[in-house]
Amino acid sequence: MIDLSLLALGTAPIDPKRTLTLSEAINELPNLTPHNISDATLSAYLNALYAQGRERHTPNISPINTIFLQRLLVQRHPKRILEVGCANGYSTLRFWQTTRPWQAQITTLEVSAPNITEAQHHFSATGAHNDITLHEGNALELMPQLPLHSFDFIFIDARKIYTLDFFIRARQLATPNALIVIDDVIKFKDKMLNFYDYLKAESIDHTIERIDDDEDGVMLIYT
């Protein structure tokens, strides 16, 4: 289990004392340019988006996982991020929140039309749309169209049965010394057994970090 005391960030990822509905948070958003919206305002918006996602059973990353991933981003300072599966855009915006100081470019892939519509709305509402490129469609078809060796941080959080396929394509897109992060590798291990077999057969070093209280975690693979 990760020691949360080690994961403190200046980006204030979660503020449990301040709870707004998403509509209230939207009303608080002034018409700002992407890089001068206050972190407190953005965090309030994202807290509300996460709460709404919980009500709708949207598969967003957990608050603890959010902090862990933001910590990784701060440590590694990636310039180009690829996200496979963005759902309503919550995780994408958390990545953007963290990397705004160095203006990283984020590419995210999503297949669900309702998710795409909602994510685009949130990207525009927060002013993140200039730094985020959303590609619509099946990630297995979209990934071969992306430039090779161009992403230094890749986050995979999509259909678990295709994890191996996502990973093979992600390695082709990763720069040297990139970090590939794969979510839900404990909870849904039974859906990605071929992926685990591949790692063993190819002798690919990996680390599994247990993060959430439900005994789930993420896998870290350095290229």
User: Measured between alpha carbons, how far is 120 from 206 in angstroms, rounded to an integer?
Assistant: 33
Domain ranges, ordered by start, for the chain: 4-222
223 residues of the chain, pLDDT tens digit each: 333 333 333 334 434 344 455 555 555 554 444 446 788 889 999 999 999 999 999 999 999 999 999 999 999 999 999 999 999 999 999 999 999 999 999 999 999 999 999 999 999 999 999 999 999 999 999 999 999 999 999 999 999 999 999 999 999 999 999 999 999 999 999 999 999 999 999 999 999 999 866 668 999 999 9
**pLDDT of the residue at 21:** 57
**pLDDT of the residue at 26:** 54
Beta carbons of 189 and 215 less than 8 angstroms apart: no
Q: Note the pTM of the prediction, 2 decimals.
A: 0.86
User: Measured between alpha carbons, how far is 220 from 135 in angstroms, rounded to an integer?
Assistant: 24
Best CA proximity match to 152, nearest among 125, 131, 179: 179
Quick one: CATH architecture of 4-222?
A: 3-Layer(aba) Sandwich (3.40)
**pLDDT of the residue at 28:** 53
**pLDDT of the residue at 95:** 98
